[in-house]
Structures are given as C-alpha cells and as structure tokens.
C-alpha cells in the first residue's frame, strides 16, 4: 500500500513540475510573440528600478552628514591591552561595547595617519612611483605618500613626502579629502592631495625605500587602474579623485582618454 502511495505521490510531483514548465514556457512565448508585452514588462522593471534609485537618493539627501556611522556611532572602550608598538603604530586588543550593545574584543592598529599626493607635472601627466613593498611581494605603482610626524599638518606632510620621494616641490597643493584605508583593523586615515606647478627639489629617501620615479600620462594611470596594474588602494583613490577634481574645477582639464 505504501508503495502505491509513494508512486502516486511521485506522479503528482512530476505532473506539477511539468505544468509549471508549461506555464513558464507559455509566458516566454507570449513575450516573444508579442513585442508590446515584452516592452511593457521591460518598462515595468525600469520603473521599479527608477523608483528604487530615486528613493535611495532622497534618503541620502535628507540624511544629515553626521548621521553617517563613522561620525555618530562609536563603541565604548572599556580596556585596551597593548600587544606591540613599532614604527607603523601601536597594536592592541580593545574590550569594547558596540553601538548595538554587544560586547566583544577587537584587534586595532592605532596609526598616526598619513598623507598621499598626486603630483601633476603638466595638464595631462602625473609623477608616479614604482616602489618595492615586501608585504605585497614586489614592486607596486603608487603616488608619493608617508606617515604624519606626530601632530603634523597633513598638507605639510604631503609637501614633505612629495619632495623626499620624487625630488619635486609644489607651488600649489589642493586637498582631495581623507580615506580610511583598512577600517577592519586600523584607524589609519590618509589625507589625499593634488599638487601643481612642480619645480625641482631635493630627493631624501629613507634607507629602507627602493623607489623608481616615473612620469606617466594621467589617462594611462586611469587605464592601469581598470586593468588591475595599479592595485595600491590609496593610489587608486587619489588618482580617481584627482582626475575628478581637475575635471570639475578646471585646474588641469579632464584626462584625455
């Protein structure tokens, strides 16, 4: 008896699947035969997407700037255990209560901050570095950058690092905004800049730096980002923001693509 029931159940399931396939096939055929039906379905999907994007934009416009999580919601640090201190900062374990009330332990590298700069040699060329990075296992394309010296002003740091690493001094430098590099475990904040009206200066590199300076068309640098040739995060952000800044403010004109 159980075998008959099992067979009947299996037949029912197969019949239902077959009917579902027929309905799906019929719907596709109708859309294929009737252009107006296909157009109407596409229009409905487009309207839904448009409404969603509009709602997201309205929400973003209505939200005050201080509503961003990194500005308004903080964890309560109960205790910090310093594990290691070195040239890149202080590594420790924080006992914290998160904004949602959960209590946990988080590893944090306290970093002094840094500055990075995109040097414009002329309207369409920038100065980049090919720098050896042991942690990355080879040479990386980068913009000049370096850590802040204590409470050093980020712009002053950018000017200093530009001359030390490239041998150029900038008559004019403009801020592009800050970025968090790896917020999963460090508070490092890099301040980005664009430098213009370059003049020869004095190279003063550190003993542990292996750097080759190259003049590169901005258009090529942007293409290298798309192709994955430039993988350094701060340099990608700096180059994209510098190109946008130049396009918006007419400082150098948009990159020739």
Q: How far is residue 33 from each of residues 6, 23, 27, 28, 39, measured CA to CA in Å?
A: 40, 15, 10, 9, 12
Distance between CA atoms of 24 and 104, rounded to whole angstroms? 50
- Secondary structure of residue 140 in the 3-state scheme: strand
Structure tokens at 40: 């109407």
Of residues 58, 73, 209, 214, which has the active-site annotation? 209
For residue 136, the 8-state DSSP code is: T
Across the strands, what pairs with 172? 196
Catalytic site residue 58?
A: no
Q: Cβ(222)–Cβ(238) under 8 Å? A: no
Q: Is the sign of the CA dihedral 159, 163, 169, 174 positive or negative?
A: negative
Distance between CA atoms of 136 and 139, rounded to whole angstroms? 8
Q: Catalytic positions, please?
A: 209
């Amino acid at each position: 008896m159980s075998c008959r029931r099992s067979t009947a159940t299996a037949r029912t399931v197969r019949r239902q699947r077959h009917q579902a396939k027929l309905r799906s096939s019929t719907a596709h055929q109708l859309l294929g035969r009737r252009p107006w039906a296909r157009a109407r379905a596409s229009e409905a999907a487009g309207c839904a997407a448009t409404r969603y994007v509009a709602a997201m934009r309205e929400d973003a416009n209505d939200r005050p700037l201080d509503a961003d999580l990194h500005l308004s919601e903080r964890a309560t640090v109960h205790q910090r255990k310093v594990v290691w201190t070195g040239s890149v900062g202080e590594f420790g374990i924080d006992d914290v209560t998160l904004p949602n009330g959960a209590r946990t332990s988080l590893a944090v590298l306290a970093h002094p901050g840094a500055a990075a700069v995109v040097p414009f040699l002329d309207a369409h060329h920038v100065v980049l570095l090919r720098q050896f990075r042991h942690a990355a296992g080879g040479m990386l394309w980068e913009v000049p950058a370096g850590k802040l010296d204590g409470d050093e002003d980020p712009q002053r740091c950018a000017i200093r690092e530009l001359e030390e690493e490239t041998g150029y001094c900038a008559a004019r430098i403009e801020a592009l905004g800050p970025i968090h590099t790896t917020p999963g475990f460090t508070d490092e904040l890099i301040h980005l800049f664009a430098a213009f009206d370059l003049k020869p200066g004095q190279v003063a590199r550190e003993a542990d730096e292996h750097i080759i300076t190259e003049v590169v068309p901005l258009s090529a640098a942007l293409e290298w980002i798309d192709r994955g040739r430039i993988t350094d995060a701060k340099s990608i952000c700096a180059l994209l923001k510098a190109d946008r800044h130049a396009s918006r403010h007419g400082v150098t004109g948009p990159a020739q693509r």
